[in-house]
Amino acid sequence: MQRRTYALIDGNVLENNVKEIISKYPSYKYYFGVVKNNAYHHGIRIVKDLIKGGVNYLCVSSLEEALQVRKYDSRIPVLILEPISLDLIDDAINNKFTITIDSIDYVNKLLEHDLFNTLKIHLAVDSGMHRIGYTKAKELSDSYKLLSENKNILVEGVYTHFGTNGITDPYYNNQIKRFLDITSGIDLESIPIVHLNRSMTLVKHPKLEIENGVRLGIIMYGFSQSTKLQGGIKGFINKFKLERKQKKYNITNVILENDLKLNTAFSLYSEVISVRKVNKDELVGYGINKLMEDGYIATLPIGYADGVDKSFKYVYLNNKKCKIVGDSMDMLMVFSIDKPSIGDKVEIFGDNISINEVKNNTHLSSYHIFNNISNRVLRIHKNGDKKEEINY
Ligand SMILES: Cc1ncc(COP(=O)(O)O)c(C=O)c1O
């Protein structure tokens, strides 16, 4: 290990998270693990833990990401969520990847291609997010017909992606309706896999009868998405506002709280590489950060290029929370009343500073916090006592 900054990824935690989700939501046949962008930056090696937990399909963004999965598992089906360039079709076939198709133009071009072996495809429906997917029932049914006639194409799935969670907005229900309209020209029951929900919508709504697959993203990484309304006057007002919106949009059956027991698997550490004594009123770092008392500055080899800056507010050093008083591209400066030593371990988040605390301090979502931790931060994968460095 070179730079003393690393993320520790706990594989057992991820495996148990998946087991817990499946045990509480057992009615699906296909549990897709969404592992885009290096498994939400946990390192693609974790696909082995997710598979042990029970995930039986994976989703990635691109062919390159799908190839990364194949380094760790040669058999699991992998769905590429973005339509890929037609020059990559041979690679998709050779590696048994499933591709997304989202327009009749794509189908026509694909059918000109020499499909030398079976190609599995999932049809994407645009139910309202307007990112990718079919918008017209006729184009979808024509595509389905054309694809089904080709002996080397297996239309294995149909899916959509929801833009909202539907707790206080009418769009979740509208999007289901639009999905049903756009797929009305095909027999959904004849399609092996129908998948609509993602983490948040899985836990907030009853299971949809038409679907037998669900795409698990942030929930697998430790976020149950349970919403507990606070007590007191604030809670009362929030409940009132929520119920007013639900009544307005005729929203019923939303499940706010769930009892999923999940844990985050990603902790981040650095260490002290320089120490200096400083006095009250001295300035630190870029900009004017005036010190309020005498103490020490501990410098850490992690900065905003690694995805961590002053907005994180605190780190955990020698059993205390210490304030981040300066940041830069590669280093953070932390204030400590007690004298730290070179080599002292520092937790950026983990057992003592939770990701939820970082979320509150930075106003970033968990998706952004993980995805911002750059690839130059070494990932160490842990499974029980076994530790393994992961190279990107
Ligand atoms: C198509 C698709 N499905 C599922 C997911 C997973 O979403 P989440 O992490 O909210 O479960 C994503 C993530 O961006 C996605 O793009």
Domain boundaries, the chain: 11-248, 266-390
Mean pLDDT of 89-112: 97
At 2 the pLDDT is 73
Instruction: Provide the pairing of β-strand 97-101 with 378-383.
Output: unpaired
Alpha carbon of 191 to ligand 1 centroid (Å): 21
Q: What is the tens place of the pLDDT at every residue in 340-363?
A: 999 999 999 999 999 999 999 999
Nearest CA to ligand 1 atom 8: 217
Strand 119-125 with 153-160, pairing: parallel
The C-alpha angle with vertex 178 and arms to 176 and 179, in degrees rounded to 5, equals 65
Residues written for the chain: 392
pLDDT at residue 391 greater than cutoff 80: no
Residue range 266-390 forms a domain whose CATH class is mainly beta
pLDDT digits (tens, 9 = 90+) for 215-246: 999 999 999 999 888 889 988 998 899 999 99
Distance 215 CA to ligand 1 centre (A): 7
Count the neighbouring beta carbons within 10 Å of the beta carbon of residue 16. Answer: 18
Judge whether residue 19 has pLDDT over 90.
yes
Please tell me the residue having the least CA distance from ligand 1 atom 7: 217
Q: Is 354 helix (H, G, I), strand (E, B) or coil?
A: coil
CA distance 335 to 168: 43
**Predicted local confidence at residue 228, as pLDDT:** 85
Ligand 1 centroid from CA 115, angstroms: 29
> Where is average pLDDT lowest: 65-69, 188-192, 284-288?
284-288
Distance in Å, CA 377 to ligand 1 centroid: 24
Q: Whose CA is nearest to atom 13 of ligand 1?
A: 217
Which residue has the CA at smallest separation from atom 6 of ligand 1? 217
Is the pLDDT reported for residue 249 higher than 70? Answer: yes
- Whose tokens are 């690839």? That residue is 375
Q: Which ligand 1 atom minimizes the distance to the CA of 202? A: 11
Residue closest via CA to ligand 1's atom 15 equals 161
Lowest-confidence range among 39-53, 137-151, 275-289, 309-323? Answer: 275-289
Q: Is the pLDDT of residue 1 over 60?
A: no
From atom 2 of ligand 1, which residue's Cα is the shortest distance away? 161
User: Is there a contact between 340 and 275 (Cβ–Cβ < 8 Å)?
Assistant: yes
Tokens 């009362």, residue? 236
Tokens for 60?
């990635």
Whether the predicted pLDDT of 330 surpasses 70:
yes
Q: Does the 11-248 domain belong in CATH 3.20.20.10?
A: yes
Ligand 1 binding pocket (C-beta < 6 A) is: 34, 81, 161, 198-200, 215, 217-219
pTM summary value: 0.95
Is the pLDDT reported for residue 252 higher than 90? no
Q: Which band of pLDDT confidence, cut at 50, 70 and 90, is reported for residue 392?
A: low
Average model confidence (pLDDT) for the chain?
95
How far does the centroid of ligand 1 lie from the alpha carbon of residue 35, in Å? 9
Pocket test for ligand 1, best of 14, 34, 80 (most atoms within 8 A of CB): 34
How far is ligand 1, taken at its centre, from the CA of residue 197, in Å?
A: 9
Rounded to the nearest whole angstrom, what is the distance from the C-alpha of residue 113 to the centroid of ligand 1? 30
pLDDT of amino acid 270: 98
Condensed to tens digits (0 to 9), the pLDDT of residues 316-327 reads 999 999 999 999
How far away, in angstroms, is 376 Cα from ligand 1 center?
Answer: 24
Q: Which atom of ligand 1 is nearest to the CA of 61?
A: 16
Q: Which atom of ligand 1 is nearest to the CA of 40?
A: 9
pLDDT for residue 134 is more than 90? yes
Q: Ligand 1 pocket: which of 17, 57, 81 to mutate (most atoms <8 Å of CB)?
A: 81
Residue 52 is predicted with a pLDDT of: 98
3-class secondary-structure state, position 289: strand
Q: pLDDT (tens digit, 9 = 90+) per residue, 22-40?
A: 999 999 999 999 999 999 9
**What share of the chain in percent tops pLDDT 70?**
99
Q: How far is the CA of 181 from the centre of ligand 1 (A)?
A: 22
